[in-house]
Structure 1
Amino acid sequence: MSSAQILVVDDEQEIRDLVEEILKDEGYRVRTAHDGASAREAMRDPVPDLVLLDIWMPDVDGVTLLKEWTEGGGPACPVVMMSGHGTVETAVEATRLGAWDFIEKPLSMPKLLLTVERALEAARPRPPQPGVGAEPAPEPVGKSQAMRRLREDARRIAVHDTRVLLRGEAGSGKRCIARYIHEHSPRRAGPFIEVSAGGLGEGLGVADLCGLEREGETVPGALELAQGGTLYLADVCEMEPALQGHLLGVLKAGRFQRQGGARVVDLDVRLIAGTRVELADAVRAGRFREDFYYYLDVVPLVVPALREHVEDVPELLQYYVNRLVERDGLQYREFTLAAQNRLRNHSWPGNVRELENLVQRLLIMGEGEKIDVDEVEAALEEAAREGTGAGRGLSADLHLELPLREAREAFERRYLQEQLRRAQGSVGQLARLTGMERTHLYRKLKALGIDPRESA
């Protein structure tokens, strides 16, 4: 969670309240101001880390305020202008005066959050080559035929500097295989940079990938950070179609320009993409560009689900016990043979990630040197109640005796409460689970009397 402090300046209380609620849910500290006078006061000690500034206010317009701060030596923090009556001229003038960006109302909350994140990121010092020198990637664990074949195929692919498309269910270990390919390739001495395609917005995503130049400042993007190494594009299936087209053009040309810049940068990056859905199906459904799919699908590699190599479960259990004890300082505990056999017969819908989470829970919550089958059974039952098991109870909450509107509200309340609990109180994750746009989701939660913070 971020601890950055953001000042929201807007004369409309509804907008102030909505933006404040959303930003607080994302972990930011928020102050608000309703006009120019209160904004001037709020810009004094302590100075915020970022200002969201409305253009039109009753006493003074936002551009005039920005000009005041610029004449005083420049804004002490990034300023993002907001307006429902924006024009190109206003945006250009605000940018000339030092505004970091300009967004239009009605606000798109995903775009607002991405703009906030990018502005704060640009304002803080960037360590050289983030992601390099991180915890070394482990070799994919398992002595099963499926895992032996996967490691052999990965090593064979690694020596050829070509694109790779990793297919596999969520939690199956695609990132681990991507790192394994990188570390067995001629690029092993270069950086390994991971980007989640689902977090790239259509507009700001270009800057995230290609970098940004503004007011003499250069912020490198993922492509530049990965120069000489590997870029792993996780969940490529979630990338916006327009951004797919832009990236495809960059990759084919072998060069790119930073957003706002003029210099052409030659590209020296190996691309590995990961997907949990069949991209061919996404192409047929119109959710993924056909040309980008064929560009990526040069060397496909399937990462098997854990249920396809359950004979590796005992080795995986031991690996994660050792890793969590060493990394997190947890108490060492050993799975009994009966416990291991029970877990070999589990279906593992969440794959290796589910197994790691289960081991972590048992090490944290359990006592004693041994983890027996009864403790494993209880942990699996608890996980089922928190996941699909709890969802099965939704049908019992249908109020068929109520009028349609009230029954629908009752179901929506129960549904959102359950999904919010699964998301551990995160509205961002809730939006992903429900497929709802975040602004609409916040209004729905407020209308139903659901406080996300109570589910955190």
Structure 2
Amino acid sequence: MNQAQRLPESTRTPPAMSRSSILVVDDEPDIRTLVQDILEDEDYEVQVAQDAAHARQALRQRRPDLILLDIWMPDTDGIALLKEWSASGSLPCPVVMMSGHGTVETAVEATRLGAYDFIEKPLSLAKLLLVVERALEADRLLRENRGLREQAGSPAEPLGNSRIMQSLREQIRRIASHDTWVLISGEAGTGKRTAARYLHRCSQRRNGPLVEVAAGSIAGASSAPELFGSEQGGRVLYGRLEQANHGALLVDEVADLDLPAQVRLLSAINSRSFHRVGGAEPVKVDVRVLAATRVDLEEEVRAGRFREDLYYHLNVVPLRIPPLREHAEDIPQMLEFYLQRLLTRESLPERRFSDAAIARLRRHHWPGNIRELKNLVQRLLILGEGPEITVDEVETALSGARSPDQQLRGGVSLSLDRPLREARESFERLYLKKQLAAAGGSVGELAKLAGMERTHLYRKLKSLGIDPNDY
């Protein structure tokens, strides 16, 4: 297969990095023009709207990074518009209110509805620029902190001082300097998402968002709003693709995409535009795609389960994450990393691995890779006692890690004394864990085994606290 001949030119030419976009909503033409000129001189991309109706239209066209919103307008006042935008649970972006007739009560109400700040007219241009800069920075830090909370316990970059891991980090940094799509492959638990996050932090898009989505959750027509957003009754909900604008979209376990979802994603990213569900106008986006998989996508293409054109788009730059058994010399460093991280995060008593325990773990095959290592360390810290983790403890922990199937056959019973809902959830949890293990962690295969629709299955797994990545 001649990959280079099949690649569209757009995937090989890095686009220019986008500027922060600001929407200015004010009914006074002089103020709109003044603010627009000043912000454009500071290299911001600026849209203007003269009233609430035009502001709604601007939000349907694209999601800005910041809104400057006047309070007193002829059709709908700014507070009512702010209340409308916050009705979905959160504002589309930071909002700074502007008014020449503001009161303390108005400022309090705007803050209650989620406004970042309140600027009085006549505008102080120095203060305007300072508030804009601070609002954008605060939003960036909020996204970063949210990402760090989601990644709690994970390393900032692929761990290991072995030649293999040093070479991997160097390869990621080289790939990050280009704006191509990247296909990250590797066995379950090798750290594909860690590699993707490190790649994003090393890229020119580092100041933009990295939005992660599980492929199975965007399969099926009913789940299209999660990826593409929706418009209904004048309300706009922004999907994952639009949230990733100016940044990157990480599609985890991309092989779980069904064929219709593959078509929609390819069309959106290739044309850099899409339609929200229920929307009439196309939405433009500038997104880098990172895709992760633990299956052979080329084999999926041959089997007719994955589109060849999408495969070649994703496989512009392949990145393979090695299994832990290929760099076993890094195991002591990884054990120490997760040991210290878990001790700090969970406030557990201080413990350390004996030399014999480390030697035994270096000889382990690690079928679950880094995820298995992290879970083992956590189990040893919670169940063990004493300052030293001995080789006997390690042997017991390794032999005692039974599968859900073994748990069922080993006499785990479901109490009939509990309420029906609790008993049913216990059975569903055991059943789905067993089937997920049999499916090798593939939610697509699990859906076939369980006879369930994939989107509903994802919600069920989440409600039961089951993470497919553990399998």
Question: Quick check: TM above 0.5?
Answer: yes
| Aligned equivalents of 1:392, 1:149: Cα separation in 2 | 44
Compared CA separation, residues 358 and 270, structure 1 to 2 (3 A): same
Q: How far is the alpha carbon of 1:328 from its aligned partner? A: 2.5
**Correspondence for 2:365:** 347
Secondary structure (helix, strand or coil) at the match of 1:166 reads strand
Q: Deviations over 1:68-119 (max 9, x none)?
A: xxxxxxxxxxxxxxxxxxxxxxxxxxxxxxxxxxxxxxxxxxxxxxxxxxxx
**Correspondence for 2:335:** 317
**Correspondence for 2:291:** 273
**Correspondence for 1:299:** 317
For structure 1, which segment, 307-316 or 385-394, has the greater mean C-alpha deviation from structure 2 after superposition?
Answer: 385-394
Q: How far is the alpha carbon of 1:358 from its aligned partner? A: 0.6
Q: How far is the alpha carbon of 1:387 from its aligned partner? A: 5.8
2:452 is the counterpart of 1:438: yes
| Aligned equivalents of 2:345, 2:351: Cα separation in 1 | 15
Residues 132, 192 of structure 1: 8 Å contact kept: no
Compared CA separation, residues 346 and 387, structure 1 to 2 (3 A): farther
| Aligned equivalents of 2:404, 2:161: Cα separation in 1 | 30
Q: 1:186 aligns with which of 204, 208, 230?
A: 204
Amino acid at match of 1:143: N
2:163 is the counterpart of 1:140: no
**Correspondence for 1:4:** none
Residues 131, 193 of structure 1: 8 Å contact kept: no
Q: How far is the alpha carbon of 1:393 from its aligned partner? A: 8.5
Structure 1 moving runs of 4+ over 6 Å: 388-394, 415-418, 428-431
Structure 1 gaps, min length 5: 1-121, 395-414, 443-451
Under a length normalisation based on structure 2, what TM-score does the superposition of the two structures give? 0.58
For structure 1, which segment, 385-394 or 283-292, has the greater mean C-alpha deviation from structure 2 after superposition?
Answer: 385-394
Q: 1:386 aligns with which of 375, 382, 403?
A: 403
**Correspondence for 1:290:** 308
| Aligned equivalents of 1:126, 1:360: Cα separation in 2 | 38
2:254 is the counterpart of 1:236: yes
**Correspondence for 2:177:** 159
Mapping of residues 400-415 of structure 1, within 5 Å: none
| Aligned equivalents of 1:417, 1:195: Cα separation in 2 | 23
Between the two structures, name the one with larger relative contact order (CA 8 Å, sep ≥ 6). Answer: 2
Q: How far is the alpha carbon of 1:200 from its aligned partner? A: 1.7
Q: How far is the alpha carbon of 1:202 from its aligned partner? A: 1.3
For structure 1, which segment, 260-269 or 276-285, has the greater mean C-alpha deviation from structure 2 after superposition?
Answer: 260-269
Q: How far is the alpha carbon of 1:423 from its aligned partner? A: 7.2
Q: Deviations over 1:351-380 (max 9, x none)?
A: 100111111111111111111100011000
| Aligned equivalents of 1:377, 1:314: Cα separation in 2 | 17
| Aligned equivalents of 2:436, 2:242: Cα separation in 1 | 35
Mapping of residues 14-413 of structure 1, within 5 Å: 124-125=89-90, 132-133=144-145, 134-135=147-148, 138-383=156-401, 385-386=402-403
Q: Deviations over 1:284-327 (max 9, x none)?
A: 11111111111111000100011111111110000111111222
Question: RMSD over aligned Cα, in angstroms?
Answer: 3.4
Secondary structure (helix, strand or coil) at the match of 1:309 reads helix
Residues 259, 307 of structure 2: 8 Å contact kept: yes
| Aligned equivalents of 2:447, 2:361: Cα separation in 1 | 27
| Aligned equivalents of 1:294, 1:226: Cα separation in 2 | 22
**Correspondence for 1:92:** none
Q: Percent same amino acid at aligned positions? A: 45
Amino acid at match of 2:212: E
For structure 1, which segment, 277-286 or 263-272, has the greater mean C-alpha deviation from structure 2 after superposition?
Answer: 263-272
Residues 420, 430 of structure 1: 8 Å contact kept: no
Matched length = 301
